[in-house]
Amino acid sequence: MAMDNLEDTCASLRAQIAATETQLAGLKRELETAEKAAAETKGQHSTNSASSENGTKKRDWPLLDDEYRRYGRQMIVPQLGLQGQLRLRSAKVLIVGAGGLGCPAAQYLAGAGVGTLGLVDGDTVEFSNLHRQVLHRSKNVGKFKVDSAIEYLQELNPHPTYIPHRAHLNPQEAADIFRNYDLILDCTDNPATRYLISDTAVLLGKPLISASALRTEGQLVVLNYPPRPAGDKSGGPCYRCVFPRPPPANSVVSCADGGIIGPVVGTMGVLQASEAVKVISSGLDGISAGPPSMHIFSAYSSPLFRTIKLRSRRPNCTVCSAEASVTLDTLASGSTDYFFFCGITDPEVLLSPEERISPLEYRKMYPEAAPSTENKQHTIIDVREKVQFDICNIDNSINIPISTILSSAMSLPKNTGEPTDPSSQIPPWLPADIVSPESTDPVYVVCRLGNDSQVAVKKLKELGLDRGGDRFVGDIQGGLHAWRKQVDPEWPEY
């Protein structure tokens, strides 16, 4: 027990040190900004003094000359005005995620003159980020995303204070980070972190602007706005109110797997910045907040946008209702397990070692580039979707998308001794030569990362393609990602 207390004390001290270091970094930036402002003000004072000697009245303005020039076009918009600009300058906004959503959101908020911008992200810049994460540059590949983003933002606008948080958000430190900010933007891409962000924002009384994007579609919602204590029905709904249960873990598709069009995620990030400007300039207390709504964007639909009205707080919500069971203490202690709640575990292994083969083992067994149609020794089924198969594929492999396989409820014909029409029971997506009773050549299934291929093998065996174990049906372990590492280093990486 004593050891547990000491460990808790150490963890608490580390968190306090991290928070203090973050605050110190922010204060240093604020000092630098203040010193610049003082120098400019001194110059203005000298001019004003000279004017006073000539009988001209001294004039004091709330913004610097550069700020009037920089923000003038937005200050003349009636919905913002000078008071709205001053609110932006004094606001502290935290952006969780410096990727496809966070980059455009940060870019426009910095440009608009938000006084303090914090960025949370533990990832580094990769080449695959550059088509949509517009703050990063090719020269910054390998850098922390927050450092790469701040490097750009400081060139865009030197007036705000930029605070990097170079780590993935976790329940133990989330509250200490959030306390220093007025408004939170959720620019992440996984359910577990979204629930953590929402819970922390609600418990600390911070409005939250959440967005997501995948392929050609996106969603946007302003949560906990107006921010009210748990049990206050006048408060805005939280993420748990909108999504009481997380989606099944195996149904969650990331941008890496499902793909994303840059302008789509950029649109959602810009909309987050727009909502942030509205929330800040109209008042963080949400007195003038309208009814909660979810905005849905679809780049290939007409109309492009749809809006769905949301209900108010759920009366039995575990965070924002009178029956709340999630507290700051449960976050800090780790008893609120977001990965468990979302059903997230390590990639599941569905096949036995005997049902799997590595790319290197496969190449040793079959030195030729691929099975030829003239001298066929085996079959390779690539279960990626056609759009990925068209990017690159193993010669003579057969493309049967995993979505097609999973939608099939058919089975192969059974040998009952009765005359039947086999073609009536064969799934239409399976080539006839593969299901022919005379065909005993091995079947290897490959996908991008080695996950869908396992599911496909299980399904093919359920259909009876393995002849009750007399025929090998297995997958290439690790998929084409491992193929690049073990067999062909020139294989396109996408």
List pLDDT tens digits, range 365-395.
998 755 555 556 899 999 999 999 999 999 9
Kindly tell me if the per-residue pLDDT of 20 is higher than 70.
no
Please name the residues in contact with 271: beta carbons below 8 A apart, sequence gap of 6 or more.
211, 220, 295, 297
CATH architecture for residues 353-412+422-487:
3-Layer(aba) Sandwich (3.40)
Mean pLDDT of the region 321-328: 93
Q: Exposed e or buried b for every residue in 389-412, given b needs 16+ CB within 10 A?
A: beebbbeebbbbbbebbeeeeeeb
Cα 252 to its chain centre, rounded Å, is 11
| 363 belongs to an annotated ligand binding site | no
pLDDT of amino acid 344: 67
The structure tokens listed for 255 are 């941008």
CA angle 489, 346, 384 (to 5 degrees): 50
For 45, how many CA atoms within 13 A lie in the half-sphere containing its CB?
6
% of the chain with per-residue pLDDT over 90:
66
Confidence label for 45 from pLDDT (cuts 50, 70 and 90):
very low
Domain ranges of the chain: 65-342, 353-412+422-487
Confidence label for 342 from pLDDT (cuts 50, 70 and 90):
confident
Q: Which of 25-39, 55-69, 176-190 has the lowest mean pLDDT?
A: 25-39
Pick the catalytic residue: 103, 255, 342, 392? Answer: 255
Cα 203 to its chain centre, rounded Å, is 22
Range 358-363 contact pairs with CB under 8 angstroms and sequence separation of 24 or more: 358/476, 358/477, 358/478, 358/482, 358/486, 359/476, 359/477, 359/478, 359/482, 359/483, 359/485, 359/486, 359/487, 360/486, 360/487, 362/444, 362/476, 362/487, 363/486, 363/487
E strand or H helix at 116, and its extent? strand 116-120
- Give, in words, the CATH class of 65-342: alpha beta
pLDDT of amino acid 399: 97
Backbone dihedral region for residue 246 (phi beyond 0: left; psi -120 to 50: alpha; all else: beta): beta
Confidence label for 49 from pLDDT (cuts 50, 70 and 90):
very low
Pick the catalytic residue: 103, 187, 342, 447? Answer: 447
| 189 belongs to an annotated ligand binding site | yes
pLDDT of amino acid 46: 46
CA–CA separation, 232 and 225 (whole Å)? 12
Q: How far apart are the first and last CA of the chain?
A: 50
Map tokens 């590949």 to a residue. 141
pLDDT of amino acid 419: 42
Mean pLDDT score of the chain: 87
Map tokens 């909502």 to a residue. 275
Q: What is the value of pTM for the model shown?
A: 0.78
Map tokens 């085996």 to a residue. 378
Mean pLDDT of the region 23-51: 55
Kindly tell me if the per-residue pLDDT of 2 is higher than 60.
no
| 129 belongs to an annotated ligand binding site | yes
447 assigned to active site: yes
CA distances from 451 to 391, 472, 476 (A): 19, 19, 10
Backbone dihedral region for residue 111 (phi beyond 0: left; psi -120 to 50: alpha; all else: beta): alpha
Map tokens 């004094």 to a residue. 90
| 238 belongs to an annotated ligand binding site | yes
Please, are residues 105 and 272 in contact by the beta-carbon 8 Å criterion? Answer: yes
Q: Which of 2-11, 207-216, 293-302, 372-381 has the lowest mean pLDDT?
A: 2-11
Please, are residues 206 and 49 in contact by the beta-carbon 8 Å criterion? Answer: no
pLDDT of amino acid 13: 65
pLDDT of amino acid 369: 57
| 190 belongs to an annotated ligand binding site | yes
| 145 belongs to an annotated ligand binding site | yes
Kindly tell me if the per-residue pLDDT of 430 is higher than 80.
yes
Strand order in the sheet with 398-399: 356-357, 473-476, 443-446, 379-382, 398-399
Confidence label for 143 from pLDDT (cuts 50, 70 and 90):
very high
| 121 belongs to an annotated ligand binding site | yes
| 100 belongs to an annotated ligand binding site | yes
pLDDT of amino acid 422: 42
Mean pLDDT of the region 439-458: 93
Mean pLDDT of the region 191-219: 97
Strand order in the sheet with 305-309: 161-165, 116-120, 92-96, 183-186, 208-214, 217-223, 293-298, 305-309
Q: Which of 105-119, 411-425, 443-457 has the lowest mean pLDDT?
A: 411-425
pLDDT of amino acid 287: 79
The structure tokens listed for 257 are 């797997």
Q: Which of 24-38, 220-234, 325-339 has the lowest mean pLDDT?
A: 24-38
255 assigned to active site: yes
Please name the residues in contact with 470: beta carbons below 8 A apart, sequence gap of 6 or more.
440
The pLDDT tens digits for 411-427 are 555 554 444 444 446 78
E strand or H helix at 184, and its extent? strand 183-186
Range 437-440 contact pairs with CB under 8 angstroms and sequence separation of 24 or more: 440/467, 440/470, 440/471
Kindly tell me if the per-residue pLDDT of 19 is higher than 70.
no
CA angle 373, 377, 379 (to 5 degrees): 75
% of the chain with per-residue pLDDT over 70:
82
Who has greater pLDDT, 18 or 320? 320
